[in-house]
C-alpha cells in the first residue's frame, strides 16, 4: 500500500512540475508578445519611420530609426565630432542617458543627462563585457554613433537591456550621448 501511495505522490509531483513549467513558458511568451506590442504601439504613436539601412550621408530624418538585426532601433540625433577619431574596441565610453518607459504617458526611470541629474556618468569599455547595469544595446549603439559627443535615441527591447530589463521583459526608450575616453 505504501508503494502505491508513493507512486501516486510521485506522479502528482511530476504533473504539478510539468504544469507549472508549461504555464511559465506560456507566461513568458505572453510577456514577449506584450513587449512587441508595446514597441509597435510606441513606434505608431510617435510616427517613427523604421528604416533598414543607415543613411550613407549621415543625414537622418527627424523620425528615421534604423532597425538593426538584433532588434535595436536607433536614431542618430548628432553625429558628434566627425573629424575626430572613431571609437575602437576596448575604448572607454563615458555616457549620459535618460531611460524612459514606452507607455502612452512616458515615465522617466533614470535621469542621468547632466551632472546636475547625477554626478557620475556611466562608463564602460566598448565591446568589452561590462556590468549588468550597462544595457547591451549601448555597445551596439556606440558602433553607429562612432564619434566623440555623438547623441542618439534608442528603442531597446528587453533582451538588449540591463539584466533587470531582460528578467522583467520590459523595453525602454533611451536618450544617449557619449564621449570617447582615452
Q: How far apart are CA 39 and CA 157, in angstroms?
A: 8
Q: Which three cell numbers stand for residue 32?
A: 514577449
Contact 136, 160 (CB under 8 A): yes
Q: Which three cell numbers stand for residue 117?
A: 541629474
- Percent of the chain scored above 70 by pLDDT? 85
pLDDT tens across 41-74, in order?
A: 999 999 999 999 999 888 899 999 999 999 999 9
Span 146-175, average pLDDT: 96
Q: How far apart are CA 153 and CA 162, in angstroms?
A: 17
Check: CATH 3.40.50.920 for 49-180? no
Look at residue 27 and give its three-state secondary structure: helix
Q: How far apart are CA 162 and CA 143, in angstroms?
A: 18
pLDDT tens across 28-49, in order?
A: 999 999 999 999 999 999 999 9
Span 118-141, average pLDDT: 89
Amino acid at each position: 500500500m505504501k508503494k502505491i501511495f508513493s507512486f501516486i505522490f510521485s506522479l502528482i509531483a511530476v504533473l504539478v512540475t510539468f504544469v507549472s513549467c508549461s504555464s511559465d513558458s506560456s507566461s513568458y511568451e505572453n510577456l514577449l508578445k506584450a513587449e512587441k506590442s508595446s514597441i509597435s504601439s510606441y513606434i505608431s504613436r510617435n510616427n517613427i519611420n523604421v528604416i533598414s539601412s543607415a543613411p550613407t550621408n549621415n543625414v537622418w530624418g527627424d523620425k528615421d530609426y534604423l532597425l538593426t538585426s538584433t532588434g535595436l532601433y536607433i536614431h542618430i540625433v548628432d553625429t558628434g565630432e566627425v573629424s575626430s577619431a572613431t571609437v575602437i574596441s576596448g575604448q572607454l565610453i563615458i555616457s549620459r542617458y535618460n531611460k524612459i518607459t514606452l507607455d502612452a504617458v512616458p515615465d522617466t526611470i533614470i535621469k542621468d543627462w547632466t551632472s546636475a541629474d547625477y554626478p557620475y556618468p556611466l562608463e564602460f569599455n566598448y565591446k568589452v563585457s561590462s556590468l549588468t547595469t550597462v544595457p547591451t544595446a549601448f555597445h551596439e549603439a556606440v558602433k553607429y554613433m562612432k564619434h566623440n559627443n555623438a547623441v542618439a535615441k534608442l528603442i531597446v527591447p528587453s533582451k538588449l537591456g540591463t539584466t533587470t530589463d531582460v528578467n522583467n521583459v520590459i523595453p525602454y526608450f533611451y536618450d544617449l550621448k557619449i564621449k570617447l575616453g582615452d
